[in-house]
Structure formats: structure tokens, C-alpha cells
Chains A and B, each alone.
Chain A
């Protein structure tokens, strides 16, 4: 809202970054203070999905699209029951939204959720600062408007690495979400059995649950620290490892669970889940300079040679080359790793590495912007995972097929059991059918 429109109705607010940069603005959410790591998201729509995404716990999010709140807030966009981010930075907040689904204005929603937000900030200048300076600590305050004192407190605030944010957003108790009626009927008609997916909820987005249940799974979402034996005792047809906030190294309980579950039942992971699964296979994790946060990241599927435009939200990623030596006969004769994985895109090869404990792993997806790994597939056990968000919310729907792939993997597994299909590429079925996925576009 431009200050001339309702003069004097907004309190001043201040945003300070660790590097000393300071942005003055006006409060457009709850009053108070928010400390966290500053990141930017380049999605032009989907602000409600972003602020309710638990993966943003501990972060102050800058939206690069300047006018935010245009279509208000609706129940169907919620990605969790509330918000997890610590603060929000926008250029211009809309107090008078318009959309048939809107039940509330976005600033009212932020106030109700207690999210501190600032508007009037040159978010592009801020974005360029974060791009060159990396993700840093920051604070928004409507109380302390003195840049010096706020900066002092920012530099004294704890770093993101030190805290287990998953523990903050993961549910205390498990919940069961049944498969959607449509999907159940579809499976029944096809003579397929029910599928039970146990999902490690590290801050799982509702969009993921929706895709799993729409694909025909009964989902049991369990706390992040549930021991593997308890999860397996639920007799799952597959286990899912969800997205979640912060540094994967902090989430040791879930990582341990992943290690012991992998190989026993089909496994699928997204984002943090991908990192935990990779760690179980011996991968190193790195922190990206400023992460990937947006809805337009191009990812090459090395199996189908099709590009998926993906939604992403992560600051950490696995180092594919650290997972083990290349298997030359499955990597077009290559024996040496290349740092920039776009090499494999150019040569049209999906390379395979030999991991120390979980057999062979194939690189299935590569980010075309920076050559980072976006998806892997285990060849000797039934498991695959992706770094990006195939459920979108917000973002394009290009990768919805992965949920069907997971279901396919579980069906195969259920039908044949592991012993019968341990040979190579039986699970190659998983992230390969992007083309099939495409033709479902307009079946809305």
C-alpha cells in the first residue's frame, strides 16, 4: 500500500542484514521482531503457499514479485496449519484483494498468524545483495528502529545451522490421511490393492499429501523422530521422507531411520527427504550460496531427456560426486566425475555411481541453471528421490508423474517382492515417465 493512500495508518519497520545493509519500510503484518536467515523466492504467485510451507522455518523470506496479496488468502492454498517462516519482506502489500476463493486479506492473515512483515522495501536491491552476499542472518523489527542496535542483535543471533528446525515443525503425533475417493475407486476398478505409505513428516507440505492421496495412497504421517522399527511396524507398502527446514545434518534421527528403512520397502523422498536418503547412501551435503527458491527452475530428466520446470525451495543439496566412483559400464564408459553435472545433460548420459552400502545409484535429474543434482534413483533397492518439489504448490505441475511413479514402484514391489526383482533397472520404472505425465495435463 502506497503511504499516500492511507497516510499514518502504518507503523514504520526496519530490516537489517548481517552485512550491515539496512532497509526502511512499513509494517504490513504482525508488529514485533523477527530474526532469521534471509532468502528470496522468485515465484510470481503462491505467496500463501510459501508462507505456510514449513520448510521456511527459521527464515525471513523476500518475495521478488513486488505486489503481494492480490488474490487474498484461501483455505485450499494452505500448505500446513499455520506459518513457519519468521518474517516476510515485500515491496507492496495488497490490502484489498480480489478473487472468488479469497476469505481474508493477506496482511490480515499475517497479523492473525503473528508473522512480522515489512513492505516498502526495494526487494530487488535486497535480492541482488543476497545473490552476491549469500544467505545471511537478518532481522525485521517494528520496535527497534535503530539500525545500529538491530544490527548488533542480528550479529548476536544464532545461525541456522545450529538449530534443528524440523523438531519445531514436525507433528508430535501421527495422523492418517486416507486415499482420495476417486483414486481408491480407480485402483479398485483396476483390481489394485490398497497402498499404505508411511510419511516421515519433517514439515511435510499439504500439497505432497494431496498428491500421494490422489495417487491412491493411504498416508500415515509420523513424527520426524519415529524409530525405523516403529515405522516398519505399521507395515507400510512404501515410506516417504518429506521436505523440511534447515540443515539436514541436524536431523539425525530421521537420517538414521532412512538408513535402516532403505532396501526394505520402496522409498521416495523430496527435498530434505532427498538429502537424508542421499546421506544414508554416503553422500556429502553442501550449502548452496543462496539456495534455490522459486517456481521456474529448469531440470533435465536424464532418462526421458525432457525438461521439467520445477518448484524449488532449498539451501542445502547433496554432492553427487561424493556418493562413490562411477560405474563405467553404466556411465557410457566414463570413469571421472565432473563438477558441473550439466556435462551429463550434454552427453545424454545418466551416470551411475557405486555407493559403499546401498549399491548403485543413478543420477536422474540435473538443474540446468547451475548443474546441481536434482534427483537420484537406486538401482539395487527400490528407492528414488528428488531435490525439487514435484507437488509444486506453488509452481508448475510438470513433475506430478513422480507420485504415480512411486505408486508404480510400490505396486511392482507388492506384486513381486524384493527377491524377484533385485536386478538392475527393475526400479528404473521410477522417475522415467515424464512423457506419460504430460498427457495428463488437461484432465482437470
Chain B
């Protein structure tokens, strides 16, 4: 069937901010969909609140609305744009939920919008477990024995019938949020309670726990003619019970026979047919009993998903692009396979390699929460690797994580918990894979391990092979590593660093020996067809093969290698990938051949269309050097991918690799706080008094000299890891005890903490002789809250022109003095009309995408052009100091609900996973949009609980007064109430949690509190505030922990109270009106 001609304009809904369970894979899929539909002549309208996405670039869609994904906002967009169709299956669960609600609210019917790519009924059948179970029984498939519950008591009754352990899965949530495994009644109480509150429909499924069963996923596509194909099978190394997002996963499935796999294929296609997936991609999950092959269907997602992004990258089959084409009427056989260009997309990819994905976690940032992996996803990112064997792919994937591991082997610093060793082997945690390997080293048998872990023996044997090879390498030493043995080690994925450690040598020595022996990696192509047809794309991975047959094609144009950011983590996410993608676009325009290196399967940068060549490889020195040696680039860009490539700058430069842009010594100057302080001293620029200490005594001495409060941190940190504010000597002591393991051989820095200062983020460009200060962002939260967790606003709303001018001046001077070529980011604090430099990042910052969208100046593209030798004056930039007619606000998204038990106060350590943007004529309106975009409840009436520390008591009166005037009732603790009453604000007093009942916790539990203003009392991590914050997180009640945020929230509430609703703006209109510059 050819393309439909009855639709002209298509609305695509994105997935909103990056949250756990929904990351940048939906930028990848949404971007693919926008592009291919426009190429087909459709007009594409996009709604997405996440500014750090390629899809929200004004050039990706025809009409781009950076607006909250709410029924209200999307309806306004529909009202303005009148699209013919809505494509809701590209934006994850967020988009599907929004489409469902739009349907329910009658919006789609009212405006005559047709849902394409899926139908709402099939979404219901796919997602509602009761309907799904019935549908699967219809086609003869078994589902796990289960029952639904709408209260904890019902859940208990169901569990009694099934017998423990049971899995609890809430209906309609994201990434299994709120789910878990209950081994007894106490567990059930706890998990079912959480699940019920997180479920959009207040429902949980209590299900038989298939302990030790294999978990298999099938990525399936179907077209309107009924053709169905399986793109990829994915096997979870961790058995049932660990969320697939938190599992190590392997493609293709390794331990199933043809018969078993083909049966799963049949079931998957039948499932799609029965659920009613008319067209598009779906993910179907199965449990397979390893003892008898018995199959149970677990669930299906009728949309592109994290797994389908993984499957796309693992196979080279662009699922989202194909799904978009299917949605507009094409059939699979009418779509051409991009890679072979001669065969249709209606086939099943054949892989001739193994792909392993490993999740990346951030538990160190959420102290107090359990590290056990369950059905509730907690990982914040993932890395994927290709190898010709599972062993090679696993080791490459593990070193791709950048958590200091260079493979499966233990680090010199690795400490195994001897007391809990057996338990940590048996229990799934982020560290489990290392415990499994260590158990094998300690002589555990594969059988004993299989018994303890339920991991399939095939995987354990493979890991045992790696351990056996470790032993062989260690016993012969480096001198015993002849050509064949070293090649064999490389074929097993051992890094040079690992071999060095095993043989008591150094990485560069191993590398040298490898060069002498002529062992170089070969280039292999990801081609969807196992070599059966010629590939026309340069989607590569590296491996080691006897014979050295490489598929590398020499390039005719000069090449630039761009190093991207690796796995997403807190502090380094999609924003850096965004910058790298922009750089590749800009450099391609300049005539370079662009070469991308990255190992993150979720990203746009690892789409084989994005750059001329893609190397899906880890971002370690060794792996990057391999690519450099093969491609012989004119230059390598290290300043756009965050800390990952920056860390490699010096080693690469020392190895003679030409770096484009800011050089390694300039990077070092900016990142080394000591050298940087000296520079500021020479320039006469103020910075918070600081000192460095390498012993506790020196630290105390420095603290006395500078004075409390202090910000303390280790050197070279990302996202403020290990950073804290200390108010007293005792706190400094306990910090140093904990921080010691953060960065063992590094001293700590102590900076004076500027209380109540305003923080600014500046993104600027420098070409060596001129500087362009593009965006000055004013933070909402005061200094001390990590800039990644703070909301910010462009243009600054509370600063004088004089201050702004001074900030520009200092930025200019710093950029020139440091020798920046490309992007830089400077953070300032403004206190009492005085400005202080907090830090300078000689690279693209997290705020570049937001700044680019807010100002209309595509900073990363310009940076790439500067790095390639162009001058600022050639770039045609708009004047620096123009006043935009709009306010753009960025707000951070916190993952508290995933980490019950950890404290939800903002602080100097970054913990947000993503961000949203709101654009409006006024600051309050823009801020209100960000609140809605994050799905925070903004109750327009009810009771506000206020409890603030002494410092904030004066400031809170004005806020309370305004709330009172808006009709909210106020509940306060004794101390706060005293202040409020003194200023004539009526309020009720409530007991603290520790003062007996009825207290504020009881009020919260009873649902009597609409939102909370609670600034932390003192700095104890446990106590009243902690209990309240945890409870608020559990109930999804807005809880503001700073006065500045409370003020901003108050503004937003006042806007919502006037009842006019929020207007929507397309980015393209801002351009057309000349209010901000066009992006290209």
C-alpha cells in the first residue's frame, strides 16, 4: 500500500524530560520519525518539553512547541495547528498516556485528529493487564497467574492465593515504577502500598514470581498488510525479577534453540495481531522456564521503546523510521533497507556479532536506598558494545561504563565485601557481575553459581572462560604473551589496561608490545545481513581477527573525529550528545567527513545516519586510539562530550593526536582549581576564598582560616559528585571520612560558601581573539544548589545591567587568558553587588542546548566551526545584548520516586536526571510551564504546610502572606507559626513527627496537605524533615526545599489562579518575529 494522501499534517508527541525509564532513546526515535515524515512531504508538528533534544531543534520539525506534554497544552497546540493525524507511539509511555487522555477528553474527536501508528483500543489492551491476560488466553498463550488489587488488603488476599514470593506491578506507570518482589506479608504491605500510590489508576497486579526463569524480549514490527517481522531477540543475563532496563542484556538470544526461538516469534506476531497493533514496532516479553522450555508471556509495549532503540542499534534496522513510514500507509516490503539499498525492510536482520548492553547506576548519589535490583528500574543510563563473542562484547561493555572498571577483572582498589560475599553473589545488584566473576576465581563451580544466581550456565561458563584466560595471562606474564596468545586475549575483549594489571605491567607497555607484534583491531560493519549483501553505510565496530581482514574504506576528504559522552549518568546526559550531533552537522557542512565515536545506544549520535562514519566503541584511551589510528583524522574534538572525552585530552595530545579547539594545557589550567585560582588572582577577579588540603589537620586549619560554611569537594568531579556544604568542624570530619573513597589520591578543596548568593551560568564562544557571550542564565535556587539541579532563567530577571556587563567582561577576559577555542561555561555568584567566579568549564556545558534554544544561537554548531578554524566574525552572530521578548526557564527533574529512603533535599551534589523548558511572555508563566511539564501537582486550593529554618523565617512571611491571599490554608510548626502569626497571617499549628500524634505526618498521610514548603533544619540527614520529604515523594506532593524556589512557585501559582490558562508558542514563530535569531 502506498503513502496515504489524505493526511498532510502530523502531530508527534515527544517523551518530555529524561527520567529513569525514559531517556534519550525517544529523542532518537522521535527525530527519526520527524525527518522521515518531512522527507515524505508531510508537515510535522512536534510537542516536547525537553530542550536538550535534537527533535526540538527548530530545523527538525516544521512547527516545534517546547511545551508541557499535558492535555491542556497539547489541546492548545491542536487548536492552533489543526493537524490531521497524531502519531503517539514515538514518545514512550508519556506520549501514549497523553494520547489516551486526549482521546478520553474528547479533544481528538473535537478537532478531527486521527490517531495513526496505533489505536487507543490496542494501547488499552496492551497496557491493561487484565485485558491483556484475557487477550493472550484467547490465542492460547499463558500468562503468569495473578490477580489485581486496588488496596493493600486485596493484594494480601491475592498473594495468599498465589503463595509467596509474588511480583507486584502497578498498572500504568513508567519503567516498572513502584513494582517489586515481595517475599512475605511485610514486603507486600510496603511494595503494594507504594505501587498503589504510583499507579495512575490506583491498581496493582500481584503475580506469581517466576524465579530463575529466563527473560526474553522480541522486537517485532507489523504493517497494515499484516506482514510481521522480528527485528531482534534480546536475552536478559539476569533472570526474571530484574527490570530489563537494569539487566545486562544480550542480542541475539544465546541460549534458545531454533525451535524455541521460532515459537517465541510465532507468539510475538500472534500477540501483536490479537492486541490489534495495526502498524509499527512493539516489544514483547517472555519468561522461559530453563528446566522444560515452558513459556509465559509477560507483557507487550505497543510502541517504540528503550529495547527497540537497543535493537535498532544492535542490528542496524531503523525501527522508528520504519514505524513512522508504516503509520502513513507504507508496507514493510515498500520500504528500502537503508544499509543494503537493494533489499526491502521486510526481512529479519541477521547478526554476525554479539551485542551486550550493561546498565549504569547512580546509587552513590542516593544514600539510604537499597541497591538491590528489582522489577522497578533504577539505572540512569546504559552502554552497549559489539564483539565477535559474548566474552569480548561483555568486557567492552563493562569498560564502556566508565566506572573505572576496564573489563570484568577486579580493580586494584576493588574491595569485596567478605562478610556478605555469598549474599552479594546471589542478590542482583550493580556489582553482582563482578562478584560472580570473583566467585569463579575463588573456585566456585558453575553449577553452584547457577544455583545461587539463576543465571543461565551458558553465561557463567563464558564468564568462567574469561576468568580462565585471566589466569593464563597472569601466569605467563607479559613476556609469555606471544602473538597468538595476545591476539587470543584481545579476542576475549581484554583491554591493554587489564592485561597490564594481570601481568604487572603498564598500559603503554602492553600497547607497545601489541604494536610490535602487529596486533591491530579490524573494522567490521553492522550491516543487518551478516555480510550477505554489500553495505552502503559506515556503521562500524572494532574487533580482533586472525588474518586482519578489515572493512575500512579510506576516505577522500579530511576527517574529524568527534568523541561523544558515553553512557548517560547523572551530570552527563543527553545535553552533551546534543552538542556532538550539532558539531557533526556543522562539520559535514564545511566539507569534512565526520567520524563519531560513542557507546550509548540511546542517542542520536549513534544513529548511523548522523555522521559519515560511526564507530560504536568504548570511549577509553585505548579504544579511541584504535579509531584514531585507523581514520588518521585531521583533528579530534574532545570538548563537546562532557567529562568523558575531556579526561582523555592530555593522553591523546601526548600520543600526538591533533585536538581541535581548546588544547589540553588550557583544559588543565581551567580544571585544576589551584592553577585557576592563581589565574584569577593575577586577573584581580574575586572568587570565594578557598584552600586545598591533603590531610584532615590541614583541612581544619584551612576551614578556620576561610570560615564556615564551606563547600567541600574532591578535585576533577562531575555533577558535583562527592560535594557537600559543611557548617561545622564535626561535619567536616564526617565528610572527610566519607569522601576519602570518592577520590583516594586526590586532595579536597574547601571553598567559602556564599550563602544566599545568586548563581549565574554563562555559555560563551571564543576563537582565540574574540569572545561571544551568548547566554547569561540566572539560577532560581541560590548558590549551593548544584547548577544542574537548579532552575534557571534567560534572560536574567533580577540583575542590573552593570552586573551583567561586568559578568560579560570577566567571561571575555577569562576565555582569552585561558586560551579557549570553542565553547566555555563560567559560573558566577553574585552577592551584595559583588561578583565571584565559581568555576570555568573549558568545554560545552550542560546548559548549551537550553541556551541555544533560548537565544536562537546554535552554540555547538558555531563551536565546531571555530574549532575547525573559522572566526567568530565569520559566523554571522546576532548582537550579544539584545533583549528577547520572552522568558525561557529551565527546570530540573528529580528522580526521588525511584530511590525511596534517600533524602530529597537539593544540595551541591547533582541528582537530577533531566530538564524541561518553558517559554512564555513572563517569567512566572514560563516557570509555571516547567512545573506542569514535570507533572508536579499544582493544587489551586487546599492546605500548605510551611516549616522553615531560622534563616528563612523572615523571607517566608511574604510567601505565606501571598498564599493566604490566594485562599490557601496554612499549617505550620510551632516556630514557623510564631513568625507567621507575628506578621498577621492566620495559621494552624501542627506537631512535628517526633512530638507525638496527631502530627504533620498524619496530616500528610490523610491527604490533607496540598503542598509543602520545608527548608531543611540543620543538616542531619535523618529527622522530621527527612520523614516528611520521603512521604511527600511517595505521595507525589510538591515539596519545595528552598525559599527562592518557593517564591518562584508562588509566582507560577498566581498565574494559574488567574484562570486564563497558558498560551503556547512555536519556536519557529519566535524566529519569524525576529524576537530571537534563527538557528541556522
Q: Which of B247-267 contact A (CB under 8 A)?
A: 252, 254-259, 261-263, 265-267
Q: Provide the bound-state CA to CA distance between A435 and B461, in Å.
A: 43
Closest to A21 in B: B547
**Given the complex, which residues of A lie within 8 Å of B578, measured CB to CB?**
none
User: Are B259 and A438 closer than 8 Å at their CB atoms?
Assistant: no
In the complex, whether A307 has a CB less than 8 A from a CB of chain B is yes
B346 adjacent to A307 (CB under 8 Å)? yes
Q: How far is the CA of A147 from the CA of B291 in the complex (A)?
A: 46
Closest 10 CB pairs of A and B: A125-B549, A46-B258, A394-B258, A441-B270, A98-B458, A442-B270, A122-B545, A64-B530, A4-B469, A127-B531
User: Which one of A23, A92, A125, A441 has the highest number of Cβ atoms from chain B below 10 Å of its Cβ?
Assistant: A441
* Chain B residues near A167 (CB-CB < 8 A): none
Question: In the complex, which residues of chain A have a beta carbon less than 8 angstroms from the beta carbon of B390?
Answer: 67
B785 interface hit (Cβ, 8 Å) = no
B481 to A, closest residue via Cβ: A4
Known: A98-B456, A397-B265, A438-B269. A42 touches B350 (CB 8 A): yes
Q: Is B227 an interface residue (CB 8 A)?
A: yes
Q: Could you tell me the distance in whole angstroms from the C-beta of A200 to the nearest C-beta in chain B?
A: 26
User: Which chain A positions have C-beta within 8 A of B332?
Assistant: 307
| B258 / chain A contacts, CB cutoff of 8 Å | 43, 45-46, 49, 77, 295, 393-395
Q: Is B733 an interface residue (CB 8 A)?
A: no
Q: Are B546 and A444 in contact (CB under 8 A)?
A: no
Q: Does A87 make an interface contact (CB < 8 A)?
A: no
Q: Chain A nearest CB: distance from B538 CB in Å?
A: 15
Q: Which residues of A contact B (CB under 8 A)?
A: 1-7, 23-25, 40, 42-46, 49, 64-67, 70-71, 74, 76-77, 91-92, 94, 96-101, 120-125, 127-128, 131, 294-298, 300, 305-307, 309, 345, 368-369, 392-397, 435, 438-439, 441-444
Cβ distance A108 to chain B, nearest Cβ, rounded Å: 15
Within the complex, what minimum Cβ distance (angstroms) separates B539 from chain A?
14
Given contacts A2-B492, A307-B333, contact A441 B252 (CB under 8 A): no
The reply to whether B473 and A76 form a contact with Cβ atoms under 8 Å apart is: no
Residues of A within 8 A of B226 (CB): 306, 435, 438
Closest-CB distance, B518 to chain A (whole angstroms): 15
Quick check: A45 and B333 within 8 Å, CB to CB?
no
A400's nearest neighbour on chain B, judged by CB, is B266
Q: Count A/B pairs, Cβ under 8 Å.
A: 216
Measured between beta carbons, the chain A residues less than 8 angstroms from B293 are 100-101
Given contacts A100-B290, A100-B292, A442-B139, whether A4 and B489 have CB atoms under 8 Å apart is: yes
Q: How far is the CA of A140 from the CA of B271 in the complex (A)?
A: 45
- B residues sitting closer than 8 Å to A (CB atoms) are 139-141, 225-230, 252, 254-259, 261-263, 265-267, 269-271, 273, 290-293, 332-333, 342-344, 346-354, 388-391, 446, 456-458, 461, 465, 468-469, 472-473, 484-485, 488-489, 491-492, 522, 524, 529-534, 545-547, 549, 551
Q: Give the interface SS of chain A, mostly helix, strand, loop or mixed.
A: loop
Minimum CB–CB distance for A434 against chain B, Å: 9
Inter-chain contacts of A296 with B (CB < 8 A): 347-350, 529
Contact of B344 among A40, A91, A294, A298 (CB under 8 A): A298
Given the known inter-chain contacts A44-B351, A125-B549, A127-B531, please indicate yes or no for A76 contacting B346, CB distance below 8 A.
no
- Closest A residue to B549 by beta carbon equals A125
List chain B residues, Cβ under 8 A from A124.
352, 388, 524, 530-531, 545, 549
Inter-chain contact A442/B266, CB cutoff 8 Å: yes
Contacts of A77 in B (CB 8 A): 257-259
Which residue of chain B is the closest to A23 with respect to CB atoms? B547
Whether B266 lies near A444 (C-beta < 8 A) is yes
Among B229, B271, B342, B546, point to the contact of A122 (Cβ < 8 A).
B546
Contact B388 A92 (CB under 8 A): yes
Residues in A whose Cβ lies below 8 Å from that of B259? 76-77, 393
**Chain A residue contacts of B292, Cβ below 8 A:** 100
Q: How far is the CA of A125 from the CA of B551 in the complex (A)?
A: 9
Q: Given A98-B456, A98-B458, check contact A70 B254 (CB 8 Å).
A: yes
Known contacts A44-B252, A121-B546, A127-B531; is-contact A66 B388 (Cβ 8 Å): yes
A residues near B473, Cβ cutoff 8 Å:
4
Say whether B291 contacts A100, CB under 8 Å. yes
Q: In the bound complex, do residue A4 and residue B461 qualify as a contact, i.e. CB atoms below 8 Å apart? A: no
- Give the residues in chain A near B461, CB-CB below 8 Å: 96, 98
Contact B529 A23 (CB under 8 A): no
Measured between beta carbons, the chain A residues less than 8 angstroms from B546 are: 23-25, 120-122
C-alpha spacing A196/B532, complex, angstroms: 40
Contact B530 A65 (CB under 8 A): yes
The residue in chain A whose Cβ has the minimal distance to the Cβ of B269 is: A441
B547 A92 Cβ-Cβ under 8 A: no
Contacts of B524 in A (CB 8 A): 124
Contact B391 A66 (CB under 8 A): no
Residues of A within 8 A of B225 (CB): 305-307
> Does B549 contact A122, Cβ atoms closer than 8 Å?
yes
**Known contacts A25-B546, A127-B532; can you find 10 more A-B pairs with CB under 8 A?**
A64-B352, A65-B252, A99-B257, A101-B257, A122-B547, A124-B531, A296-B529, A307-B225, A443-B140, A444-B266
Query: What B residues does A3 contact at CB under 8 A?
Result: 484-485, 488
Q: Which residues from B are CB-within-8-Å of A40?
A: 531-532
Interface contact A396-B290, CB-CB below 8 Å:
no
A4-B488 in contact (CB<8A) = yes
> Could you show 24 A-B contacts with beta carbons less than 8 Å apart?
A2-B389, A2-B391, A4-B488, A7-B472, A42-B532, A43-B258, A45-B252, A45-B257, A66-B389, A71-B255, A96-B446, A120-B546, A123-B352, A124-B549, A296-B349, A298-B347, A300-B333, A368-B344, A393-B259, A395-B262, A441-B139, A441-B267, A441-B270, A442-B270
Residue in B closest to A46 when the chains form the complex, CB atoms: B258
| Contact across chains for A125 and B545 when beta carbons are under 8 A apart | yes
Chain B: CB-nearest residue to A132? B534
Bound together, the chains give a CA A91 to CA B446 distance in angstroms of: 24
Residues in chain A near residue B347, CB distance under 8 A: 296-298, 309, 368-369
Asked if B267 contacts A442 (CB within 8 A), the reply is yes
Q: Please report the C-alpha to C-alpha distance between residue A442 and residue B530 in the assembled complex, in whole angstroms.
A: 29
B326 to chain A, nearest CB (A): 13
Contacts A98-B255, A368-B346, A438-B269 given; does A131 touch B333 at CB 8 Å: no
Q: In angstroms, how far is the closest chain A Cβ from the Cβ of B503? A: 13
A19 to chain B, nearest CB (A): 14
Least CB distance, B297 to chain A, in whole angstroms: 9
Q: How far is the CB of B699 from chain A (nearest CB, A)?
A: 48
Cα A94 to Cα B456 in complex, Å, equals 14
Q: How far is the CA of A5 from the CA of B473 in the complex (A)?
A: 10
Identify the closest chain B residue to A392 (Cβ): B262
Contacts of A67 in B (CB 8 A): 254, 354, 389-390
Q: When the two chains form their complex, are residues A127 and B257 in contact, meaning their CB atoms are under 8 A apart?
A: no
Find out whether the CB atom of A396 lies under 8 angstroms from the CB atom of B351. no
Nearest CB of A to B54, in Å = 31
